[in-house]
Amino acid sequence: MPETRIIHADDEEMKDAVREACALLRAGEIVALPTETVYGLAADALNPDAVAKVFAAKERPSFDPLIVHIASRGDLKTVAIVPEEIAEIVGKLTAAFWPGPLTLILPKHPDVPDLVTSGLPTVAVRQSAHPVFRAINKELGRPIAAPSANRFGRISPTSASAVVKELGGRIPLIVDAGACAEGVESTIISIEPRPGKKPIFHLHRAGPITKEQLQEYGKVEKFREKAGDLPHAPGQLPSHYAPLTPLILLENPADFKPEPGKKYGLLSYRGEDDSPYVTLHDWEIVEALSPGSGKLAEGAIRLFFVMRLLDEAGLDAIIAEPVSETGLGVAIMDRLRRASASR
Ligand code: TXA
Ligand code: MG
């Protein structure tokens, strides 16, 4: 593969970026594109050869299914078959949250190649809210399969430069539209209808659309694999989103036992000088998730960026402070737990 080109998708250059990305996608190539959550590695979802390139570039095992992105709600029927019993709730959810970071697991349309869904009878679908992604999806006129544009198991990229670090030299083009607005991957749910009652939403991955937001439409339960189910999708494996440097989620500051001579960095929530985590140790480096607003939304946006910074700081370990598990905090803690799971 020749070197990876980066094309900017600012207002004036948007048309060029859309044209170039679509030309490559039509030719069965793979392209990194910005979404509102994280950068995705895109391929024509209906072209199995192109989809195979996504798995190869990411070194992703073929049993980990991809998310399919559609340009409009009307396109849902081209990739999924919505059962009668959930048609109404699917309509409500897509009206409320699309375009946006909510992925629905639905029975798959036969046109979607098995490689995309790893042989599962279901497909994960969402409509991205990112203007550049939307323009490319619309212009292409076909669904786009796009997992996060990182190597398998690693930190998801929230900027074009992070994509270069993950996949530079492996893909022909990155469309650069700056930093991602959400910063963590979409919320993933499947829907279980209940006659006469609100449906159950099985939460496969916590994300920007929170439990609190979904509860208006149904009962939210953590997805649990049943015995005999197909292998776990690795997005749900305990170890994922992992820096190369060991990351330790320190639930209680008193549990920190630094080893002499080792270098530790702190992934703090606010980074305030007098916080019990900041004062705990003479850290090599302290990075705050939410130094400005102290809001979880800022923390989510900065999470993977800060994890990457700390990973590049030459530390022996990254110590992470927990955040409160409400709203977006659930998605942040999910990523921190998986990053800290032993490999
Ligand atoms: O925000 C996002 O969702 C980003 C952007 C690029 O759209 N994409 C993303 O894709 O995070 P990826 O591949 O990193 O995560 C997709 C995860 C899989 O690991 C798997 O856990 C789940 O989606 N998934 C996909 N299809 C599924 C299916 N049919 N059943 C259950 N889980 C599925
Ligand atoms: Mg991923």
* Ligand that comes closest to the CA of residue 117: 1
Number of domains in the chain: 2
Tens digits of per-residue pLDDT, 29-85? 999 999 999 999 999 999 999 999 999 999 999 999 999 999 999 999 999 999 999
Task: Among 55, 115, 188, say which to mutate for ligand 1: greatest number of ligand atoms within 8 Å of CB.
Answer: 188
Domain boundary among 176, 207, 224: 176
Widest CA span of the chain, in angstroms? Answer: 63
Q: Residues 148, 253: one domain?
A: no
pLDDT of residue 1: 59
Q: Which atom of ligand 1 is nearest to the CA of 207?
A: 1
Let me know if residue 234 belongs to a domain.
no
pLDDT of residue 242: 87
Q: Which atom of ligand 1 is nearest to the CA of 41?
A: 6
Q: Which helix (H) or strand (E) holds 311?
A: helix 296-311
Q: How far apart are CA 311 and CA 256, in angstroms?
A: 19
> How far, in Å, from the CA of 149 to the mean position of ligand 1?
12
What CATH number does residue 118 fall under? 3.90.870.10
| Nearest CA, atom 6, ligand 1 | 40
Q: Which long-range contacts (CB under 8 A, 24 or more apart) does 10-14 make?
A: 10/177, 14/131, 14/132, 14/135
* Residue 185 CB–ligand 1 contact under 6 Å: yes
* Residue 67 CB–ligand 1 contact under 6 Å: yes
Q: How far apart are CA 122 and CA 82, in angstroms?
A: 11
Residue with tokens 């979880």: 296
Q: Which helix (H) or strand (E) holds 205?
A: strand 197-205
Q: How far apart are CA 153 and CA 244, in angstroms?
A: 10
> How far, in Å, from the CA of 65 to the mean position of ligand 1?
7
Q: Which atom of ligand 1 is nearest to the CA of 128?
A: 7
Q: How far apart are CA 80 and CA 72, in angstroms?
A: 13
* Residue 331 CB–ligand 1 contact under 6 Å: no
pLDDT of residue 44: 98
Q: Residues 169, 21: one domain?
A: yes
β partners of residue 288? 268
> How far, in Å, from the CA of 160 to the mean position of ligand 1?
20
Q: Which helix (H) or strand (E) holds 24?
A: helix 14-26
pLDDT of residue 224: 85
**Residue 68 near residue 125 (C-beta atoms within 8 A):** yes
Q: How far apart are CA 339 and CA 72, in angstroms?
A: 34
Domain boundary among 176, 206, 234: 176
> How far, in Å, from the CA of 67 to the mean position of ligand 1?
5
Q: Residues 292, 158: one domain?
A: no
Q: Residues 16, 150: one domain?
A: yes
Q: How far apart are CA 271 and CA 281, in angstroms?
A: 13
| Helix residue ranges per DSSP H, 184-246 | 211-214
Let me know if residue 83 belongs to a domain.
yes
Please give the C-alpha separations between residue 33 and each of 6, 44, 179, 316, 323, in angstroms, as whole numbers: 10, 13, 12, 33, 30
Q: Please give the residue range of the domain that contains residue 334.
A: 247-340
> How far, in Å, from the CA of 276 to the mean position of ligand 2?
32
Query: What Rg, from alpha-carbon coordinates, does the chain have?
Result: 20
pLDDT of residue 12: 78
pTM: 0.95
Q: Residues 275, 153: one domain?
A: no
Tokens representing residue 237 in the block: 């494996």
Let me know if residue 159 belongs to a domain.
yes
DSSP state, 240? -
Let me know if residue 217 belongs to a domain.
no
Tens digits of per-residue pLDDT, 124-135? 999 999 999 999
Let me know if residue 231 belongs to a domain.
no
Domain boundary among 149, 176, 203: 176
Let me know if residue 258 belongs to a domain.
yes
Q: Residues 65, 161: one domain?
A: yes
* Residue 78 CB–ligand 1 contact under 6 Å: no
Let me know if residue 221 belongs to a domain.
no
Residue with tokens 């402070």: 321
> How far, in Å, from the CA of 46 to the mean position of ligand 2?
20
Per-residue pLDDT of the chain (343 residues; tens, 9 = 90+): 569 999 999 877 899 999 999 999 999 999 999 999 999 999 999 999 999 999 999 999 999 999 999 999 999 999 999 999 999 999 999 999 999 999 999 999 999 999 999 999 999 999 999 999 999 999 999 999 999 999 999 999 999 999 999 999 999 999 999 999 999 999 999 999 999 999 999 999 999 999 999 999 999 999 987 655 555 555 566 778 889 999 999 999 999 999 999 999 999 999 999 999 999 999 999 999 999 878 999 999 999 999 999 999 999 999 999 999 999 999 999 999 999 986 5
Q: Which helix (H) or strand (E) holds 18?
A: helix 14-26
What CATH number does residue 310 fall under? 3.40.50.11030
Residue with tokens 């070194």: 59
Q: Which atom of ligand 1 is nearest to the CA of 236?
A: 21
Ramachandran sector of residue 62 (left: φ over 0; alpha: ψ -120 to 50; beta: rest): alpha
> How far, in Å, from the CA of 71 to the mean position of ligand 1?
17
pLDDT of residue 13: 80
pLDDT of residue 292: 84
* Residue 233 CB–ligand 1 contact under 6 Å: yes
Q: Residues 253, 170: one domain?
A: no
